[in-house]
Amino acid sequence: MERIAFFDTKPYDREWFDRINKNFEIRYFEARLRPESAGLAEGCRAVCAFVNDIINARTIDRLVELGVEVILMRCAGYNNIALNAAKGKLKILRVPAYSPYAVAEHAMGLILALNRKIPRAYIRTRDFNFSLVGLMGFDLHGKTAGVIGTGKIGRVFIDICRGFGMDVIACDPHPDSSSGIEYVDKDELFKRSDIISLHCPLTHDTRYIIDEGAIALMKKSVLIVNTSRGQLIDSEALLSALNEKRIGGAALDVYEEESGLFFEDNSDKIVTDEVISLLVSRPNVIITSHQAFLTEEAMRNITEVTLQNYEDYLQGKQLDNEVKSKE
């Protein structure tokens, strides 16, 4: 039976893969995949990795030495992989779409929670404090949502916004003229939007798409939402804007320095990352721990596609979900 070395294992991973897997021996490891832990894959032709694993040239070379032929990414993102180093050495297979509804719905949930101060109200009422002071929000109806990235998730999010009666504008390097979406350039989007939600991949062009210059164009009441990749936002610029009351608030499911922090229980540790420590303390910031994808439907799709990707590789079938270096 073919073996898969499964890195950065969480309880929900094991639950779903054990439930659906019938054909492989999966060796689960809590360690993240990185050069120092790659040796755990000895005896396996495939490894299964996640968004915060460190798959650099050293990791890849070590895996190749051990006879690993395939990296199975149980996620859509692959910006943590040194694709050039992997070229010609092993295959990279991913899950390009697992549930756009999961991420889009979480983004809207963050907006509602941030705008209507729901976490604050929940904490108050547990102490039988039913005061409404400080809980003022605004109607979403009639406001303008600026959506950066109109792939599957962005499209679902746009539909949700329209359901709330919002006007929608969008920015995408590949606009769909038949979609009925009003496309604008990013500067116009920054100026006009009451809410800005990020649904684009992390690329050279999108890294820090929200920076000091972008924030300077925004309304002082704007809410910024990121359920995509942490490095789309310059966190220090965001913190400065919050401190200086130049934006209304931020809701983040990702963070640019989340590796080694997110997905773990750090409640009994001193977190030395001062930026996220300050962000967490702000009353107009909500941070969730990269959980936007975490629904039953999404986990089923992630598991099934990941395992099918390996089946297709072993059977010599066309690899529709392969990621290749563009160089």
For the chain, give every domain's residue range: 3-98+296-314, 100-287
Cβ-contact 37, 57 below 8 angstroms: no
Domains 3-98+296-314 and 100-287 share a fold: yes
3-98+296-314 in CATH: which number?
3.40.50.720
Cα 275 from Cα 238, distance rounded (Å): 10
- Strands 25-28 and 70-73, by their bridges, are unpaired
Cα distance from N-terminal residue to C-terminal residue, the chain: 35
State both tokens at 312.
Answer: 């297709």
Whole-number pLDDT of residue 213: 98
Q: What is the pLDDT of residue 177?
A: 86
Per-residue confidence at 313, pLDDT binned at 50, 70, 90?
Answer: very high
* Catalytic (active-site) positions: 229, 258, 290
Confidence at residue 52, expressed as pLDDT on a 0 to 100 scale: 87
Question: Which among 71, 63, 65 has a CA at the least distance from the CA of 92?
Answer: 71
pLDDT of residue 298: 96
Please state, as a whole number, how many other Cβ atoms lie within 10 Å of the Cβ of residue 181: 18
User: What's the topology of domain 100-287?
Assistant: Rossmann fold (3.40.50)
Give the pLDDT band (50/70/90) at residue 9.
very high
Q: What is the pLDDT of residues 150-207, one digit of tens each?
A: 999 999 999 999 999 999 999 999 999 889 999 999 999 999 999 999 999 999 999 9
> Model's pTM, two decimal places?
0.91
How does DSSP assign 70-87, residue by residue? Answer: EEEESSS--TTB-HHHHT
The per-residue pLDDT for range 90-113, each reduced to its tens digit, is 999 999 988 999 999 999 999 999
By percentage, how much of the chain surpasses pLDDT 70?
100
Average pLDDT over residues 289-316: 97
Q: What is the pLDDT of residues 33-69, one digit of tens each?
A: 999 999 999 999 999 999 889 999 999 999 999 999 9
The overall average pLDDT reported for the chain is: 96
pLDDT band at 1 (very low <50, low <70, confident <90, very high): confident
pLDDT at 327 over 70: no
Q: Is pLDDT at 235 greater than 90 in this prediction?
A: yes
The three-state DSSP-derived secondary structure of 290-308 is CCCCCCHHHHHHHHHHHHH
